[in-house]
Amino acid sequence: MTNGLVCFDKLSGILSSWKMSRIKPFFVVVCFVLVQTVLSANILMSAEYGAGSHYIALGNMGEELVRRGHNVSFLLGAAFEFRRDQEPWSNIFNFEVLQHAHPHADIIAGFTNFATLLHKTSHEQIWGYEKFIEGNYIDDCGSFFADGDLVRRLKDAKYDVIVFDTIWFCGALIAQELGIPSVGVVAGDGVQQAFPYAGIPINPAYMPIMTTGFSNRMSFKERLINTYYVWMVHYGRGTPFIPARQYGRIKDEYNIRPDMTINEVLNDVDLWIVASDSAMDFPVPLTPNVIPAGGLTTRPASQLPQDIEDFMQSSGEYGVVIFTLGTYLTDIAPEFLEVFAQAFAEIDQKVMWHMHDDLLQKLTFDLPKNVMTRPWLPQNDLLGHNKTRLMMFHGGNNGLHEALFHGVPLIVVPILADQFDSGTRVRDRGMGLKLDKFKLSKDVILSALIEVLSNNNYRERAQKMSAIFKDRPLRPAERSAFWIEHIINHGGDYMRSPVHELNIFQSHLIDVIALLTLIGLLIVCAMYKLLSFLVACCLSVFSSKKKKD
């Protein structure tokens, strides 16, 4: 990418010497067009094949990059190729398609089968999800490099950077193959998916690993469990849920940077953008190459579709409760949902329920009259509506920050992954309640609804945290775009922590501790010898004196 300011400076000098004032404006316009052209970068983005909320988050980031004049191409999985024709981004992004290693139906089933994790604890889910990653994500990484035509097209396109979702760490290998800088985007707080590679030590005493649902003030048992997971991140198979190091076999099979280990490839990522914000997340120390940008989908509310607007207005003074379990849980058991319907029937508010049509047809119970269902909800716009009183949801990262942006109190019913952590943060920040999915009943749900709807402290706290979140010079998407441009212009080497250059003895000061321990032991031994000598001398003098007497 060429620096357009040089062009602008040179042409400005030429124009300033011309006397033809009528021609000047024409050339000024031409110059600005040239500046825009030469400043435009080619950016490759990868967002979990194009699936669900991850694609929506990175899509907002890509939209901001396009607004700044860059060319953005998304790498889609063939199972999600429909994104090519899906507004609002079909006309502003370019698309490349990856052929999966497994049938499309298996890929789609891998996402819809998240509902099978409903009855598993967060700790049980970790290893079940890892099997999905091993069977799909890593195999698809191999499929990418096996597709010579695709790799050749990407090389010929001369991209300036790749921005990849860390749910698919293949992006780090793609960056090495294309010889371009890389930016990893974490759909969460980054403790386990970014910190180990950014050079930030994970302290298990106050930095909970994703999916545990622990706060930063843990009991002894929680710290013990968290320590085990931290050990897994640093020294075991890799990060639970995101076993990045397993991509090493793909690196070796396709001879990608044989001079580097897989750890070195991951450590070589130039920048990490994490979907977290200090207004909601627990404070942690960060290196310069980790940029918090929680709330990529947040924005002022837009006009709702007329049928939804009419429903909102019909709620009167009581308002509306939004209920959603996210984009992935599309095949959930109807009996799990029935207790929610029973509780909703008992409240004065109306309920906007996100429910896919296939699931709606499988229901074995009648929905209350105060409920409207839609297969898709304009969630951000609903949260910004003056009739919205509360959102009850699964704890997804996008919805969490959208509610934070609009100052809406929450009830979180975590189902899987980092949703348990979102619930803990909402509870600890005083913005709402966290419910245990294993203890749900009509009475439990109704009690939670009445508590949050009737206690104004939750709304006041949500609005206070919203004010903190908004008091920033840049929106999250703008902040992300700025730092991506910074990496394109300057690279990220200067921001890297030197910790990766140290071995375990150096980074943990084992050699220093060993030396100091040795010196301490020598001092103790010397003191022991000296005291023994003095005692012996005293005893000898005392014995001699006694004999004389």
The pTM of the full predicted model, rounded to 2 decimals, is 0.85
Whether residue 535 sits in one domain with residue 387 = no
Whether 415 is covered by a domain: the verdict is yes
Is there a domain that residue 228 lies in?
A: no
Q: How many helices (H) and strands (E) does the chain have?
A: 23, 13
Q: 346 and 456 share a domain? A: yes
Domain match, 441 and 363 both: yes
Residues 6+ apart with CB under 8 A from 338: 364, 365
Quick one: 30 and 44 in the same domain?
A: no
Distance in angstroms (rounded) separating the CA atoms of residues 141 and 105: 18
Is 234 part of a structural domain of the chain?
A: no
Question: Which pLDDT tens digits describe the chain residue by residue (549 residues)?
Answer: 544 433 434 444 444 444 444 444 444 444 444 444 447 899 999 988 877 788 999 999 999 999 999 999 999 999 999 999 888 898 999 999 999 988 888 777 777 666 667 777 776 766 666 666 666 888 899 999 999 999 999 999 999 999 999 888 899 999 999 999 999 999 888 887 888 889 898 899 999 988 888 999 999 999 999 998 888 766 655 554 455 667 888 999 999 999 998 889 999 999 999 999 999 999 999 999 999 999 999 999 999 999 999 999 999 999 999 999 887 776 788 888 999 999 999 999 999 999 988 888 888 899 999 999 999 899 999 999 999 999 999 999 999 999 999 999 999 999 888 899 999 999 999 999 999 999 999 999 999 999 999 999 999 999 999 999 999 999 999 999 999 999 999 999 999 999 888 888 998 899 999 999 999 999 999 999 999 999 888 888 877 766 666
For residue 283, is the peptide bond before it cis, meaning its omega torsion is within 30 degrees of 0? no
Q: How far apart are CA 72 and CA 62, in angstroms?
A: 6
Run of H or E residues at 404: helix 397-406
| Structural domains counted in the chain | 4
The residue among 284, 324, 291, 293 whose CA lies nearest residue 419 is 324
CA atoms of 72 and 65, how far apart (whole Å)? 7
Q: Are residues 259 and 150 in the same domain?
A: yes
- Answer yes or no: is 227 within a domain: no
Same domain for 415 and 510, yes or no, is no
Same domain, 149 and 187: yes
Q: Angle, nearest 10°, between helix axes 24-39 and 4-16?
A: 170
Residue 457 to residue 455: CA distance in whole angstroms: 5
Give the CA distances from residue 189 to residues 185, 293, 469, 531, 540, in Å, rounded to whole numbers and listed in that order: 10, 10, 15, 56, 70
16 and 157 both lie in a single domain: no
Nearest C-alpha neighbor of 347 from the set 374, 375, 368, 326: 368
The residue segments making up the domain with residue 517 are 505-549
CA 417-419-424 angle, to 5 degrees, is 125
Q: Are 289 and 312 found together in one domain?
A: no
Asked if 361 and 451 sit in the same domain, the reply is yes
- Give the domain CATH number at 466: 3.40.50.2000
Alpha carbon distance 367, 338 (integer Å): 9
Q: How far apart are CA 183 and CA 161, in angstroms?
A: 7
Q: For residue 220, tell me if it sits in a domain.
A: no
Same domain for 496 and 418, yes or no, is no
Is residue 325 in a domain?
yes
> Is 223 part of a structural domain of the chain?
no
